Structure 1
């Protein structure tokens, strides 16, 4: 079997993109995705993304396998990369392309901007405990600055779903966080029945924050788009952030807005092609 692929990254969060437009069945299995994502024995990536035919009136469908073979609902950096991939496949100018993309988190709308950035309408955040999901609070309550015991320490966390679960905690210095030790403990904490992504946020200014992330199914990554969106929402809910802010990640910066008009979250950032290949 031969697979044609193109590799993209969004702020260092890297993905293998596969042209899967002829069928809704992924071209490879989760176990093959694990091998593809291996940085020593494969191509190397945080996940494999399949560009599939649209469903329910959308232009395309996005599915993604993480580097551990699990399938998340959506990926913010990944969907920017998919928009750039689609524009390349279609041979368009990549200056004003807009797509309706079906995901397991609902319909997401990325748009390629004239400056090469991709702006994504990420939809409305989901804030109730049952929507995350988490058992930290009763199902119909918001989880805002709630205590949780992880690795022998009590943390205050705010939980947000952007179609996938996020647990956000604010810290004095993100560089001092030992992600290798505690990231997996957050991900697999029994309070999160579907596991969780975890963001550690340092407030620099109300309109500028630093973030490090442990992604569910991928571990430490250089960026997480849905995590940046969830973190801004958490910052607003706790009174720490403005509704528009720059989120600095290890791989670069994202501009995030939680609109006060339509309550939707908008993410703007880069998506860059690295190389194409045949495996």
Structure 2
């Protein structure tokens, strides 16, 4: 779905798609070939589940000179996010379905990510190499990222956005709403952080729940799953290929020499058009 090149049509009608990956839900707006008009204000209004459409993240598809397309992400609070793994998979599946291709290249602030059809309705995205240095995550001061000086000794990982992963006895015994909100704004994370809690349920098999910065509790998170898999491998809890069970379903994560590969299902739920009245109210 694309916005019209006609200026009046761009102002008066804004087509969008609603998609999700394991219940991690997105509004996707294709602005290729059209002026980019989405702003922080529009993102916040769209993210309101009572007065807008509602989403965990908003993904804007734009033109790119070398990749098949570029992506810009907003959180539900209107803040920008450098990456969103599940939204990248959703857009990749959409573009592959449109073109008949079996792979696409999508540019994000993380870099150009290769996405591919994995068969059986699954899509894989290479999220790139994890960022393990304190200044890459980033943290506010120099330290070992394997075990942070925070109660619970979490691991910090950068996946283009910051992550803080706690390994616990039982993720369902923790009040994630309070726990996540508290740690999202920990002073060690100058850009705030996504917060994961995880426990082992079998060999190379993890149960994980996630609090996303700027959004809150979500049913799944692709970049958080990648960060948790990397943290578990670094701590010797798992190998480099793991299955992660989230509130919304299952992802497969493979930490390879080429990058962290994330594989899972996607869904295109419906298409819609924002009304002139809604846009004029912003």
8 Å contact kept, 2:96–2:104: no
Secondary structure of the structure 2 residue equivalent to 1:133: coil
Cα distance, 1:232 vs. partner? Answer: 0.6
Task: Say whether 1:67 aligns with 2:76.
Answer: yes
1:216 shift after superposition:
1.0
Partner Cα separation in structure 1 for residue 84 and residue 211 of structure 2: 13
Instruction: Determine if the alignment matches structure 1 residue 272 to structure 2 residue 267.
Output: yes
Residues 118 and 263, structure 2, Cα contact 8 Å, conserved in 1: no
1:256 corresponds, among 253, 257, 274, to 253
Q: 1:182 aligns with which of 179, 183, 199?
A: 179
Aligned mates of 1:263, 1:278 — CA distance in 2: 39
- Give the match for residue 120 of structure 2: 115
Give the corresponding residue for 2:56: 46
State yes or no: 1:127 paired with 2:132: yes
Match of 2:149 in 1: 147
Aligned mates of 1:257, 1:135 — CA distance in 2: 29
Equivalent in the alignment of 1:100: 105
One of 1, 4, 12 as aligned partner of 2:23: 12
Supply the distance in 1 between the matched residues of 2:78 and 2:135 (Cα, whole angstroms): 25
Give the unaligned 5+ runs of structure 1.
Answer: 149-153
**1:151 alignment partner in structure 2:** none
8 Å Cα contact 1:17/1:85 also seen in 2: no
Deviations 1:110-162 (CA, angstroms, capped at 9, x unpaired): 112331110111111110000000135x2xx54112231xxxxx221111111
1:58 partnered with 2:67: yes
Point out where structure 2 has 5 or more consecutive residues left out of the alignment.
1-11, 275-282
1:235 correspondence with 2:232: yes
Question: Paired residue for 1:218?
Answer: 215
Distance in 2, matches of 1:28 and 1:233, equals 34
Measure the CA separation in 2 of the matches of 1:108 and 1:164. 15
Q: How many residues align?
A: 263
Q: What SS is found at the alignment partner of 1:146?
A: coil
CA drift of 1:85 comes to 2.5
CA offset digits 1:11-49 (Å, max 9, x no partner): 0001011111114x5332111111111111111111211
